[in-house]
């Protein structure tokens, strides 16, 4: 999977710049736009992963801090390794997930199926090849909007409206199209989820898990 540096190069090409720091687009601010695009993309098309969590004997709860970059919890399996899977009802409040079952007296392991924020760093990324261009387009739109806003602020005066506002409108239109695409992709992900109800962001009201 592409690294952060590889994504940065692709974003620079998308905004019409081939040399870092040209037109004020440094490595640092391009990386920040990529990070923001990853965060926004993840809310619509999160990674789908699972993790085995050890719970103390007699306890029904575990903290979502035991998960890696969690967005939502979709299902909890216990005991693990059965077929069909044994999915336990659960309540979620803030960072605590409480299982609706009688816990064993000794430590036990549950398998948590959850959605996760994507990661793009120097080692690679969790973005699937089919969505790499989506991320590049989002980061490029954010970079163009930020650059146009900075130019507009610099050129603004009481005497005349700077023409850079035209670039602002173009950048905002491009960003709006990207967010509309994310909304469509989000709907596709929701329709193919394996567990019901679909997971919701952590920290919302108590949610019953799948039975």
What's the pLDDT tens digit per position in 116-142?
999 999 999 999 999 999 999 999 999
Give domain limits for the chain: 4-44+120-188, 48-116
Q: What is the pLDDT of residue 151?
A: 53
Sheet holding 70-77, edge to edge: 47-55, 108-116, 70-77
CB neighbour class for 117 (10 Å; exposed up to 12, middle 13-18, buried from 19): middle
Q: How far apart are CA 193 and CA 46, in angstroms?
A: 12
pTM (2 d.p.): 0.79
Q: How far apart are CA 12 and CA 177, in angstroms?
A: 19
Q: What is the pLDDT of residue 161?
A: 54
Q: What is the pLDDT of residue 147?
A: 79
Q: What is the pLDDT of residue 199?
A: 45
Nearest to 53 by CA among 94, 96, 105, 84: 96
Instruction: Quote the tokens at residue 149.
Output: 């806003």
What's the pLDDT tens digit per position in 77-93?
999 999 999 999 999 99
pLDDT less than 50: residues of the chain: 152-155, 157-158, 191-201, 203-208, 210-211
Find the helix packing angle between 27-44 and 132-155, rounded to 10°: 130
Contact (Cβ atoms closer than 8 angstroms) between residue 97 and residue 59? no
What's CA 203's distance to the chain center, in Å?
Answer: 16
Angle at 117 between CA 28 and CA 181, to 5 degrees: 85
Q: What is the pLDDT of residue 146?
A: 84
């Amino acid at each position: 999977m592409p690294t952060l540096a590889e994504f940065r190069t692709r974003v620079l090409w998308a905004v019409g710049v081939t040399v870092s720091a040209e037109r004020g687009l440094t490595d640092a601010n391009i990386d920040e736009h990529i990070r923001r695009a990853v965060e926004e993309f993840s809310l619509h098309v999160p990674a789908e992963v699972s993790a085995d969590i050890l719970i103390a004997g007699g306890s029904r709860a575990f903290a979502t801090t035991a998960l890696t970059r969690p967005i939502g919890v979709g299902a909890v399996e216990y005991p693990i390794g059965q077929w069909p899977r044994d999915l336990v009802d659960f309540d979620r409040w803030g960072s605590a997930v409480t299982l609706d079952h009688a816990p064993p007296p000794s430590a036990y392991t549950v398998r948590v199926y959850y959605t996760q924020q994507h990661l793009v760093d120097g080692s690679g990324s969790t973005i699937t090849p089919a969505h790499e261009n989506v991320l590049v387009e989002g980061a490029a739109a954010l970079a163009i909007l930020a650059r146009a806003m900075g130019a507009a602020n610099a050129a603004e005066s009481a005497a005349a409206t700077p023409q850079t506002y035209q670039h602002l409108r173009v950048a905002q239109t491009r960003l709006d199209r990207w967010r509309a695409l994310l909304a469509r992709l989000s709907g596709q992900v929701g329709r193919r989820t394996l567990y019901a109800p679909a997971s919701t962001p952590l920290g919302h009201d108590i949610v019953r898990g799948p039975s």
